[in-house]
Structure 1
Amino acid sequence: MAGKIDARLKELGIELPEAAAPAANYVPYVVSGNMVFVAGQITLWNGELKFLGKVGQELSVEEGQQAARLCALNIAAQLRAACGGDLDRVKRIVRLGGFVNSGPAFTQQPEVINGASNTIVEIFGEAGKHARAAVSAAALPRNVAVEVEAIAEIE
Structure 2
Amino acid sequence: MPEIENKLKELGYELPAPRPPGAGNIIPAVRTGNLVFLSGTGPGLPGGGLLHVGKLGSEVTVEQGYDCARQTMLNLLTNLKGEIGDLDKLKRVVKLLCMVNSAPDFGDTPRVANGASDLLISLFGDRGRHARPRLAWLRCQAECR
What range describes the TM-score normalised by the shorter chain of this pair?
0.7 to 0.9
How many residues in Structure 1 have an aligned counterpart in Structure 2? 137
TM-score (norm: length of structure 1): 0.83
Q: Whole-Å Cα distance in 2 between the matches of residues 14 and 68 of structure 1?
A: 14
Task: Tell me, yes or no, if the aligned pair for 1:20 and 1:28 is still in contact at 8 Å.
Answer: no
Show the counterpart of 2:144.
138
- What 5-or-longer segments of structure 2 have no aligned partner? none
Q: Whole-Å Cα distance in 2 between the matches of residues 80 and 25 of structure 1?
A: 21
Shift of 1:19: 2.1
Show the counterpart of 2:8.
9
Shift of 1:10: 2.1
What code does the residue aligned with 2:17 have? E
Task: Tell me, yes or no, if the aligned pair for 1:68 and 1:113 is still in contact at 8 Å.
Answer: yes
Q: Which has the higher strand share?
A: 1
Task: Tell me, yes or no, if the aligned pair for 2:65 and 2:112 is still in contact at 8 Å.
Answer: yes
Show the counterpart of 1:21.
20
Show the counterpart of 2:105.
105
Task: Tell me, yes or no, if the aligned pair for 2:55 and 2:102 is still in contact at 8 Å.
Answer: yes
Q: Which has the higher helix share?
A: 2
- What 5-or-longer segments of structure 1 have no aligned partner? 140-155
What code does the residue aligned with 2:67 have? Q
Q: What is the root-mean-square deviation of aligned Cα atoms in Å?
A: 1.4
Show the counterpart of 1:96.
96
**Displaced runs of 4+ in structure 1, greater than 4 A?**
none
Task: Tell me, yes or no, if the aligned pair for 1:43 and 1:70 is still in contact at 8 Å.
Answer: yes
Q: Whole-Å Cα distance in 2 between the matches of residues 138 and 64 of structure 1?
A: 15
What code does the residue aligned with 1:124 have? F
Show the counterpart of 1:55.
56
Q: Whole-Å Cα distance in 2 between the matches of residues 61 and 13 of structure 1?
A: 21
Task: Tell me, yes or no, if the aligned pair for 1:17 and 1:77 is still in contact at 8 Å.
Answer: yes
Task: Tell me, yes or no, if the aligned pair for 2:5 and 2:14 is still in contact at 8 Å.
Answer: no
Structure number with greater CO (CA < 8 Å, separation at least 6) is 1
Q: Whole-Å Cα distance in 1 between the matches of residues 118 and 66 of structure 2?
A: 10
Task: Tell me, yes or no, if the aligned pair for 1:96 and 1:131 is still in contact at 8 Å.
Answer: yes
Show the counterpart of 1:123.
123
